[in-house]
Amino acid sequence: MPLAAPHDGLDDLAGLMSDNVLSVIPTDSHWQPGHEQADRARERLAQFAPDPDRLDSELTAEWHETITAVDCGANLERITCPLCSAAIDTEWWGDLLEERSDEGLDDLATDVPRCGGHT
């Protein structure tokens, strides 16, 4: 359906709208809140943004039990080196994630391609 197509109501409009996702990522990759704390944060967020689309959308929390690469999908603009801020090729990043997909992401250390630093 083209985006400019007329619609009969909010149900049709809902099919055209994307989800809003707020990712909360701790600076310490091995820390995470308990489920109870995460649920309290979700309830608090619902107070700030009760239903921005007015479509009876539900605010849910997605939980990761292990360290997980959280992908922003099509919104990805660039990846930069945490040491020198140079742009890093997204293909390199994809290859790194694929290489570590079997062993998990508990060890996040790597040698970055642009400056050769270890992070």
Tell me how far apart the alpha carbons of residues 73 and 98 are, in angstroms, rounded to a whole number: 16
**24-83 residues near Zn ion, rule: CB under 5 A:** 81, 83
Would you say 104 and 66 are in contact if contact means Cβ atoms under 8 Å apart? yes
Which distant-in-sequence residues (6+ apart) come within 8 Å of 48 by Cβ?
none
Tell me how far apart the alpha carbons of residues 92 and 21 are, in angstroms, rounded to a whole number: 25
Does 105 sit near Zn ion (CB under 5 A)?
no
Tell me how far apart the alpha carbons of residues 35 and 58 are, in angstroms, rounded to a whole number: 18
Does 114 sit near Zn ion (CB under 5 A)?
yes
CB under 5 A: which stretch of 4-12, 16-24, 57-65, 106-114 binds Zn ion? 106-114
Q: Total number of residues binding Zn ion (CB under 5 A)?
A: 6
Nearest distance from residue 110's CB to Zn ion, in Å?
Answer: 11
Does 84 sit near Zn ion (CB under 5 A)?
yes
Nearest distance from residue 115's CB to Zn ion, in Å?
Answer: 3
Q: Which residues bind Zn ion (CB under 5 A)?
A: 81, 83-84, 112, 114-115
